């Protein structure tokens, strides 16, 4: 997943004319999130079983992806979606 994101996101960003800062922030956030969640999810996998953790993470990912995709539709651009309203003014 990470290698596909690192290879495809810059190409996609170029096609839709996203600023370089947005792409850099997205890639850095993905790597940072992976680092933060690796140990706790490994611990949960040992305690609850890997199957349960994979099912839980997959379900959470589908729900979040669906909600965020629906929210993006109502925003004009990615930067406005990523930043809180107060910091844009």
Number of domains in the chain: 1
What average pLDDT score do residues 2-9 get? 75
Alpha helices per DSSP H over 1-89: 2-15, 20-48, 50-72, 78-82, 85-88
Confidence tier at 8 by pLDDT (50, 70, 90): confident
- Nearest-5° angle of CA 65, CA 31, CA 57? 40
Condensed to tens digits (0 to 9), the pLDDT of residues 13-63 reads 888 787 888 888 888 888 898 899 999 999 999 999 999 999 999 999 899
Whole-prediction pTM:
0.57
* Whole-angstrom distance, CA of residue 50 vs CA of residue 42: 8
> Domain residues for 69?
2-88
* 84 has pLDDT over 60: no
């Amino acid at each position: 997943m990470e290698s596909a994101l690192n290879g495809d996101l810059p190409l996609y960003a170029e096609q839709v004319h996203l600023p370089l800062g947005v792409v850099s922030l997205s890639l850095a956030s993905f790597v940072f999130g992976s680092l933060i969640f690796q140990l706790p999810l490994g611990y949960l996998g040992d305690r609850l079983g890997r199957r349960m953790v994979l099912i839980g993470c997959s379900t959470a990912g589908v729900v979040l992806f669906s909600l965020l995709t629906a929210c993006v539709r109502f925003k004009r651009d990615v930067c406005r979606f990523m930043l809180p309203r107060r910091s844009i003014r």
